[in-house]
């Protein structure tokens, strides 16, 4: 018989536990996003941080290479059921026990063993916040499930593909564009100075904002993804230039495959135009919200600039990344420029021109 303690209600979360989950644990698993989270207005940090934390838990389930894809899909469905609710303590414990026994990364072990507390915080959100967090998690998990269903196992020696731009665009929506809509809706609900926003227009810009960041990640990570059997460059474009996905494993194929890279960069730049419009629509008095939106765009355009100039972009030993020093300098300068639309347009424009010069 199952213990009443395990099948009972989710545990209450003390103030100390809340701080541990939304503070130390979130910092340990959120990488650079923690900087963005900390600069957000206080009222936005809990729902956004909790959404990120639960998305990272789902992503940890989807990415574990110690289980076959079919098992990961099954565990993701269990996780999805808990997000839909009501969450069952027994299912959360089972997920934690099955996955944490095989994890080697301490922060991820802690994350999965903290699912009862995280879901207790989810169920304690307001009706509106809870609905939005559950919605965005469902969308994100659809993207994770696409990866597991569409691509072979990481150690299969095979490479799966995405057929065309339309499928890639839909995938970019599922794993990032939906976050732009979520961010917009929850910001409008909690920041009174956004009352003048057109909800549909800003949500559409937010979706494109998310797609810009995701396409940047996709293009930057091509070498790494190929080596786990995933090719996100559209197959129809590769076919037109006579390059097979497995040929991309050879860095010498970079010049021949460069037209596909450039097409992706141009698409991303189009989305970054929407992201710029989004940032400038945030009232200048909303300093924290502006910074939280600005930093990912500057980092994304800086990354694209390096990628556009990287002649060995298919070589995993020559990644296209901005340095930590670059990021810290950017953050320091952003505090001086964030209140000026003119300064932001000039800064973003300069980064765009750097990208364009690299692809010309």
Contacts of the segment 146-154: beta carbons below 8 A, 24+ positions apart: 146/171, 146/174, 147/62, 147/230, 148/62, 148/69, 148/72, 148/73, 148/76, 149/69, 149/73, 151/229, 151/230, 152/229, 153/68, 153/69, 153/229, 154/65, 154/228, 154/229
pLDDT of 30: 82
DSSP 8-state code for residue 22: I
- Domain membership of residue 38 (yes or no) is yes
- Domain membership of residue 75 (yes or no) is yes
- Domain membership of residue 96 (yes or no) is yes
- Domain membership of residue 91 (yes or no) is yes
294 alpha carbon, distance to own chain's centre: 16
CATH, residue 120: 1.10.600.10
The string over 323-340, giving b where at least 16 C-beta atoms fall within 10 Å of a residue's C-beta and e elsewhere, is eeeebeebbeebeebbee
| Alpha-carbon span 331 to 325, nearest angstrom | 10
pLDDT of 358: 96
- Domain membership of residue 210 (yes or no) is no
pLDDT of 6: 47
Q: What is the pLDDT along the chain (360 residues), one digit of tens a residue?
A: 334 444 567 889 998 998 989 888 988 888 778 888 889 998 899 999 999 999 999 999 998 887 899 999 999 999 999 999 999 999 999 888 888 765 557 888 889 999 999 999 999 999 999 999 999 999 999 999 999 999 998 888 999 999 999 999 999 999 999 999 999 999 999 999 999 999 999 999 999 999 999 999 999 999 999 999 999 999 999 999 999 999 999 999 999 999 999 999 999 999 999 999 999 999 999 999 999 999 999 999 999 999 999 999 999 999 999 999 999 999 999 999 999 999 999 999 999 999 999 998
Q: What's the token pair of residue 46? A: 């809990």
How many of the other CB atoms lie within 10 Å of CB of 197?
Answer: 18
**Total domains, the chain:** 1
Instruction: Give the C-alpha distances (Å, rounded to integers) separating 25 from 13, 97, 120, 210.
Output: 14, 18, 15, 24
- Domain membership of residue 132 (yes or no) is yes
User: Residue 344: is the preceding peptide bond cis (ω within 30°)?
Assistant: no
Q: Which residues contact 42 (CB under 8 A, 6 or more apart)?
A: none
pLDDT of 102: 55
pLDDT of 2: 38
- Domain membership of residue 86 (yes or no) is yes
Full residue range of the structural domain in which residue 141 is found = 13-146
Dump strand ranges (E) for the chain. 160-162, 230-234
pLDDT of 343: 98
**Rama region for 79: left / alpha / beta (φ>0; ψ in -120 to 50; rest):** alpha
Helix (H, G, I), strand (E, B) or coil at 186: helix
- Domain membership of residue 66 (yes or no) is yes
């Amino acid at each position: 018989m199952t213990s009443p303690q395990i099948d009972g209600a989710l545990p209450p979360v003390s103030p100390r536990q809340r701080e541990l989950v939304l503070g130390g644990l979130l910092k340990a698993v959120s990488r650079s996003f923690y900087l963005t989270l900390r600069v957000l207005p206080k009222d936005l940090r809990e729902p956004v941080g909790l959404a990120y934390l639960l998305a990272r838990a789902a992503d940890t389930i989807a990415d574990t290479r110690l289980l076959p894809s079919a098992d990961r899909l099954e565990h993701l469905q269990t996780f999805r059921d808990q997000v839909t609710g009501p969450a069952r303590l027994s299912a959360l414990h089972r997920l934690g026990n099955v996955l944490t026994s095989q994890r080697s990364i301490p922060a991820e072990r802690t994350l999965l063993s903290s699912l009862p507390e995280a879901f207790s915080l989810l169920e304690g959100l307001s009706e509106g916040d809870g609905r939005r967090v559950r919605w965005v998690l469902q969308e994100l998990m659809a993207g994770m499930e696409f990866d597991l269903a569409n691509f072979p196992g990481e150690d299969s020696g095979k490479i799966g593909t995405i057929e065309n731009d339309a499928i890639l665009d839909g995938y970019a929506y599922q794993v990032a564009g939906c976050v732009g809509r979520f961010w917009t809706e929850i910001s409008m609900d909690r920041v009174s100075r956004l009352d003048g926003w057109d909800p549909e227009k800003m949500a559409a810009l937010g979706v494109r904002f998310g797609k810009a960041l995701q396409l940047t990640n996709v293009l930057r990570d091509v070498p790494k993804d190929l080596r786990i059997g995933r090719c996100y460059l559209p197959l129809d474009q590769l076919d037109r230039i006579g390059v097979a996905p497995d040929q991309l494993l050879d860095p010498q194929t970079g010049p021949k495959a460069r037209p596909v890279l450039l097409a992706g960069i141009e698409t991303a730049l189009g989305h970054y135009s929407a992201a710029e419009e989004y940032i400038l629509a945030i009232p200048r008095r909303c300093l924290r919200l502006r910074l939280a939106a600005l930093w990912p765009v500057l980092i994304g355009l800086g990354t694209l600039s390096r990628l556009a100039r990287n002649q060995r972009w298919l070589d995993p030993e020559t990644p296209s990344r901005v340095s930590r020093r670059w990021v810290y300098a950017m953050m320091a300068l952003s505090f001086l420029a964030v209140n000026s639309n003119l300064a932001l347009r000039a800064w973003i424009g300069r980064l765009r021109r750097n990208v364009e010069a690299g692809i010309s």
